[in-house]
Amino acid sequence: MTATTLTGIIGGTGLTRLEGLALTEDRFIETPYGAPSAPLQLGHYAGHPVVFLARHGQDHRLAPHQVNYRANIWALHSLGARRIIAVAAVGGIHPALGPASLAVPDQIIDYTWGRAHSFSAEGHVLHADCTEPYDRDLRAALIGGAAAAGVAVLPQGVYAVTQGPRLETAAEVRKLRAEGCDMVGMTAMPEAALARELDLAYATLAVSVNWAAGLGPAGSDIHGDIADSLERGMAQVRAVLGAVLGG
């Protein structure tokens, strides 16, 4: 990626602030769809111009179904970001996605409902091509950055997007696995589709913070390890971002 391209970074759970961001400005923006989750933070990360947005708000007050995805994506686009790296906490379904492991998913199955999920307006209907919901080049950059940083990532996988905010039942996770899902989170849709509608390159760096329901060791508490896994996972995320943006 060229040194002058503004890159949007959407931080999820565990990444409401981007440590290492040399902040130049907080931008409070109104969009035709309302206000984004938080002020957009313009600055540099690893020497590269970035605009950072905390998906759930700076104090993590918004549940996944309450996030104004349209305002978020619109705001990033309006500031000139043309590619977005979305960081997202997930539950691991694939055997390689235990807590604190990373993945760069290549597919999505959307199980959400009732979210404002399109910029389509009457008389202007958009049918975004989501055959490949993630941008191929940006995914390759994330995978290459991880290799350069010595961070292991699962280089593909299907991200199941559930409505939340509750976690899944064990039977739901068995169904997701049978349907081909490798990880489960709550935010990839409509975020990815909205980015596609505005022709933004979008890719996700997913961080497993727990085994999905029913897949952890017998008797384990799904919340038990989340804080520790988040911390370890996010340290790896920062290393990958540094390699992608600084490299």
What is the contact surface with ligand HPA in residues (CB under 6 A)? Answer: 89-91, 162, 167-168, 184-186, 209-210, 212
Q: How far apart are the C-alpha atoms of 42 and 6, rounded to whole Å?
A: 9
Cis status, amide bond into 165, omega within 30 of 0 = yes
- Indicate the residue whose CB is closest to ligand HPA: 91
Residue with tokens 């990880």: 183
Cβ 186 to ligand HPA shortest distance, Å: 5
Q: How far is the CB of 231 from ligand HPA (least distance, A)?
A: 14
Q: Please, what is the minimum distance in Å from the beta carbon of residue 91 to ligand HPA?
A: 2
Nearer residue to ligand HPA within complex by CB, 107 or 210: 210
- Is the Cβ of residue 186 or residue 244 nearer to ligand HPA in the bound state? 186
Q: How far is the CB of 177 from ligand HPA (least distance, A)?
A: 12
CA 150 to chain centre: 21
Euclidean distance between CA atoms 171 and 37, whole angstroms? 33
106 versus 168: smaller Cβ distance to ligand HPA:
168
Return the closest-CA partner of residue 9 out of 193, 95, 20, 168: 20
Of the pair 10, 198, the CB lying nearest ligand HPA is at 10
Phi then psi dihedrals of residue 55, to 5 deg: -60, -40
